[in-house]
């Protein structure tokens, strides 16, 4: 096995087992060859923790990937056609013995413009800043003593537009500071780090997470009243029945409670933090919109709330937080672990972002793009088939 592939599998497995860094098949990694001709990159839909020497990656010709960003005709195409053309071009850039229909990560172009080793994570500690109104100012303050500052990437639609934005901001940064940025914060999305070695990239991840966590302050221990089995069963029954009555879907409902959820429930006005829409593309894709807040679990309350959500632009809700009880997930069994991790992450991010000038959720336009985006639907379909939804550890 090539040293680069070895490094890719190693870093992917290390960061991939931590559901506070990536959830389900989210996040991606890449390592370039010494001669700069090739890049190994995670395949779309595979979880980082499940990558090994045989599966979960592609080797691409780096120049063919950079050509995509330079192609002016792509920039002029309509969104749907352009994103499909980009997937085709990424598949055509493949130079390996992997089945030719295994897609390289669609976030590939932004990897091509960075250093040898790249790690991209949907780390909730970072998202607390990237989804906060004052997040950028807080990040610049936290890293103000570094020789060169981190780079803040304003939100861009994933795929081609994000690749372009990273490319142009990295070029500008390189001109100004004489080197590429090592740490990039992606608004409403996550973290991107890059270094010339795998160890260097992992070190950067640890450093950033440590500093961001310290900036959030120590989370207090909270004591919540015990929830009875009877209460949980009643909530599950009412959510399942209301979903069936409103959408015709028969779904098993799973109860979750952990310290992050307890802390959220103990906040002042927790329901208010769920009023804004989905925070990130993952939340929209795996939870079908924001988590629904329920003041109580009476059947009428649940049904009315689901009907209201369906009237807005939300498709069948997947996650519910019930006052003084906990989180309930209603989705296909293979998607439960990722939906649970994404929902728990969202509760963590919302609570912390509220203390940083307020929560900065996706706008209606940004949500519309994700809903129509073929690559995201593809990823959710793979996850639903259970390809990347093996048990992930509880946060
Ligand atoms: Zn991402």
pLDDT score, position 49: 95
Q: How far is the CA of 83 from the centre of ligand 1 (A)?
A: 16
> Is the pLDDT confidence value at 390 over 60?
no
Q: How many CB atoms lie within 10 A of CB 350?
A: 26
Alpha-carbon distance 22 to 12, whole Å?
10
**Model confidence pLDDT, tens digit, residues 301-345:** 999 999 999 988 678 899 999 999 999 999 999 999 999 999 999
Ligand 1 center–CA 41 separation, angstroms: 13
pLDDT value of residue 376: 61
* Sheet (strand 38-42) strand order: 57-61, 38-42, 28-32, 117-121, 190-195, 183-186, 151-153
- 297 C-alpha vs ligand 1 centroid, how far in Å? 34
Q: How far is the CA of 122 from the centre of ligand 1 (A)?
A: 6
Ligand 1 centroid to Cα of residue 127, in Å, is 11
* Confidence at residue 381, expressed as pLDDT on a 0 to 100 scale: 65
Per DSSP, the three-state class of 162 is helix
Asked which of 97-106, 207-216, 241-250, 342-351 is least confident by mean pLDDT, the reply is: 97-106
Whether 14 has a pLDDT exceeding 70, the answer reads yes
Say what the pLDDT of residue 87 is: 87
d(CA 384, CA 162): 26
Q: Which are the contacts of 237, defined by CB distance < 8 A and separation ≥ 6?
A: none
Q: How far apart are CA 300 and CA 242, in angstroms?
A: 8
Domains of the chain, start order = 3-216 (3.40.225.10), 229-384 (3.40.225.10)
Its pTM stands at 0.92
CA 393 to chain centre: 16
Q: What are the phi and psi torsion angles at 252 (to 5°)? A: -75, 140
Whether 151 has a pLDDT exceeding 50, the answer reads yes
Distance of CA 189 from the midpoint of ligand 1 (Å)? 6
CA of 120 to the centre of ligand 1 (A): 7
Region 379-383: what's the mean pLDDT?
64
Distance 283 CA to ligand 1 centre (A): 12
Q: How far is the CA of 27 from the centre of ligand 1 (A)?
A: 5
201 Cβ neighbours under 8 A, 6+ residues apart: 11, 117, 118, 119, 193, 194, 195
Q: Which residue has the higher pLDDT, 389 or 322?
A: 322
Give residue 320 CA to ligand 1 midpoint distance, Å.
24
Q: Are 192 and 110 in contact (CB under 8 A)?
A: yes
Mean pLDDT of 390-395: 35
Each residue's pLDDT tens digit, 218-227: 888 888 778 8
Q: 282: CA distance to ligand 1 center in Å?
A: 8
pLDDT digits (tens, 9 = 90+) for 234-278: 999 999 999 999 999 999 999 999 999 999 999 999 999 999 989
């Amino acid at each position: 096995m090539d040293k680069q592939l070895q490094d890719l599998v190693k870093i992917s497995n290390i960061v991939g087992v931590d559901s506070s860094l990536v959830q389900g098949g989210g996040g991606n990694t890449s390592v370039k060859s010494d001669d700069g001709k090739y890049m190994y990159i995670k395949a779309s839909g595979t979880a980082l923790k499940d990558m090994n020497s045989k599966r979960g990656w592609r080797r691409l010709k780096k120049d063919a990937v950079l050509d995509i960003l330079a192609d002016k005709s792509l920039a002029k195409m309509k969104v749907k056609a352009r994103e499909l053309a980009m997937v085709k071009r990424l598949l055509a850039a493949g130079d390996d013995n992997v089945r030719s229909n295994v897609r390289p990560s669609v976030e590939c172009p932004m990897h091509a413009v960075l250093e040898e080793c790249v790690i991209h994570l949907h780390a909730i500690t970072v998202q607390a800043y990237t989804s906060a109104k004052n997040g950028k100012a807080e990040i610049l303050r936290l890293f103000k003593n570094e020789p060169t500052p981190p780079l803040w990437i304003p939100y861009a639609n994933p795929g081609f537009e994000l690749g372009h934005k990273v490319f142009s901001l990295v070029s500008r940064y390189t001109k100004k500071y004489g080197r590429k940025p090592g740490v990039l914060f992606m608004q409403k999305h996550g973290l991107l780090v890059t270094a010339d070695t795998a160890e260097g990239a992992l070190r950067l991840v640890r450093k950033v997470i440590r500093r961001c966590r310290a900036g959030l302050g120590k989370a207090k221990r909270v004591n919540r009243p015990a929830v009875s089995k009877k209460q949980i069963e009643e909530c599950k029954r009412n959510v399942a029945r209301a979903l069936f009555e409103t959408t015709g879907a028969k779904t098993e409902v799973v109860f979750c409670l952990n310290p992050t959820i307890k802390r959220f429930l103990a906040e002042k006005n927790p329901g208010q933090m769920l009023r804004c829409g989905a925070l990130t593309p993952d939340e929209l894709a795996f939870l079908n919109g924001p988590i629904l807040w329920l003041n109580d679990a009476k059947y009428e309350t649940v049904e009315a709330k689901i009907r209201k959500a369906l009237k807005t632009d939300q498709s069948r809700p997947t996650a519910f937080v019930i006052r003084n009880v906990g989180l309930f997930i209603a989705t296909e069994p293979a998607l439960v672990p990722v939906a649970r991790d994404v929902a728990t992450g969202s509760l963590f991010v919302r609570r912390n972002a509220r203390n940083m000038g307020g929560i900065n959720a996706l706008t209606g336009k940004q949500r519309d793009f994700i809903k129509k985006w073929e690559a995201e639907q593809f990823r959710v379909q793979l996850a639903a088939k259970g390809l990347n939804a093996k048990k992930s550890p509880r946060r």
